[in-house]
Amino acid sequence: MPSRRIEVPDIRQHQLAGPTIAIVAGGGGKSYNVHERILRNASPFFETALAGPWTESQTRQINLPADDSTAVGIYVSWLYFSAIPVVCGSSSEYLDLARAYVFADKILDGRFHNAIIDALVEKSTNQGADHKRSCPQASVINYVYKYTAEGAPIRKLLEDICARFGVSTVTLIAEEDADISYNVHERLVRAASPFFDKALTGPWKESQTRTLHLPADDGLTVGLYVHWLYYRSLPVGYDKPTTE
28-78 pLDDT, tens digit each: 889 999 999 999 999 999 999 999 788 888 899 999 999 999 999 999 999
- Strands 30-35 and 180-185, bridge-based pairing: unpaired
End-to-end CA separation in angstroms for the chain:
62
Q: Where are the domains of the chain?
A: 169-231
pLDDT digits (tens, 9 = 90+) for 64-123: 999 999 999 999 999 998 888 866 666 688 999 999 999 999 999 999 999 999 999 888
pLDDT surpassing 80 at residue 143: yes
Q: How far is CA 193 from CA 77, 169, 181, 203, in A?
A: 38, 15, 18, 18
